[in-house]
Chain A
């Protein structure tokens, strides 16, 4: 049994636009998680023609929340800063996806062998890989789904 990306990819994937705000993106992530029944940690960013421009992950959003100068005021334990998290969220919500997305995205094709996918995921610390066919996004391979496909082989 030679599994490839085509066998394990999720063809029901969700995309963002670079002009979406972070608030739009978070709503899309919540919606996708609800519809798929799995927590979605990142989404593809595409243009109107479906061309992949980048990826936005929860990590990218958390980076935005981290205060720039926390290395200074984080030392000030005597300082009362309740409400600072809400303020950080208010600022982050307005940012555009295109300004914080990751553009150096590793992609695979539907014919990429599952062992090669595992190799890429391990070496590059990647948990999701967009699948492109003729330059267009056709699916997404998730780390957890790869394991789900191998579960039977590994346990029998």
Chain B
């Protein structure tokens, strides 16, 4: 059990305590179709691409797969045509603080954990893994308000509007998937809100929807409404954070839209990582160490 320091709740924690040991990987000559299938099946945003000796050569993310779709690459193309390499590494015994610094410096949300053998990867550390661990340690901390309250449930102290990001990227239902992808690439959003002709929210097109469309060979010129997920998962800006969290859990999404007064009036987005960070802040140490990566997941 690490010592909870005054200044930083992450102090004393190492990468191996937060990393996942299951690394979803593919050889560089695997077809993109397989990469899409692995992203869907294992619910991951990126895959490690490995060489003949299982060494990490690069990464293929949902964004890279979306880029291949946009560029019109055949789905039978190999992963090495779109992979970004080499992967960014950290070591299992490195502190989480150092790993977070690396993520911030390179503006990435994922580091691969290097093993003893050259190039060998033994785990993956993603930003949400650190958030989950932070939450656990905050709950176990002697200073935690929740711990002090015993079995009595605490009222949620935060409202959605205090945590949300007041930005939305939207397109019209008859805009093409190409236009949707251009917007996603330019603004670094994870999903696009799709509106009808009168501006009312109709659905959402995420990178997952786009790579599935790629696999199903939907033309990139098809209208957004053809692949969007409906209805829009949205929560009230004045609602409690815990209710927003439940909406995300039940829909198995990382981000929901936020409305003000009416579900037609969307005013922002709320991410699961942001919710977890705020719900963990029950003492001064936690508040100081609230973590953030610019353009976080």
Q: Decide yes or no: A79 and B245 within 8 Å by CB, A71-B128, A72-B128, A103-B37 being known contacts.
A: yes
**How many residues of chain B are within 8 Å of chain A by beta carbon?**
34
Does B154 lie at the interface of the complex (its beta carbon under 8 Å from any beta carbon of A)?
A: yes
Are the CB atoms of A99 and B215 closer together than 8 Å? yes
24 contacts between A and B (CB under 8 A): A64-B41, A67-B249, A68-B254, A69-B128, A71-B132, A72-B272, A73-B248, A75-B136, A75-B276, A76-B276, A78-B146, A79-B242, A81-B246, A81-B249, A84-B250, A87-B251, A87-B252, A99-B37, A99-B212, A99-B215, A100-B37, A100-B40, A100-B41, A101-B37
Are the CB atoms of A103 and B34 closer together than 8 Å? yes
Known: A73-B245, A87-B251. 5 other contacts (CB 8 A): A63-B42, A71-B129, A75-B135, A76-B276, A84-B250
Are the CB atoms of A72 and B250 closer together than 8 Å? no
Taking CB atoms, residues of chain B closer than 8 Å to A60 are 41
Does B49 lie at the interface of the complex (its beta carbon under 8 Å from any beta carbon of A)?
A: no
- Assign chain A's interface to a size class: 20 to 34
* Bound-complex Cα distance A63 to B272 (A): 21
Chain A interface SS verdict (over half): loop
Are the CB atoms of B132 and A78 closer together than 8 Å? no
Are the CB atoms of A84 and B249 closer together than 8 Å? yes
Taking CB atoms, residues of chain B closer than 8 Å to A83 are 250
Are the CB atoms of A87 and B250 closer together than 8 Å? yes
Does B90 lie at the interface of the complex (its beta carbon under 8 Å from any beta carbon of A)?
A: no
A100-143 near B? 1/0 per residue, CB < 8 Å? 11010000000000000000000000000000000000000000
A residues apposed to B, CB below 8 Å: 60, 63-64, 66-69, 71-81, 83-84, 87-88, 91, 95, 99-101, 103
The 4 closest A-B pairs by CB, nearest first: A68-B43, A72-B132, A71-B132, A75-B136
* Bound-complex Cα distance A67 to B272 (A): 13
Taking CB atoms, residues of chain B closer than 8 Å to A100 are 37, 40-41
Does B197 lie at the interface of the complex (its beta carbon under 8 Å from any beta carbon of A)?
A: no
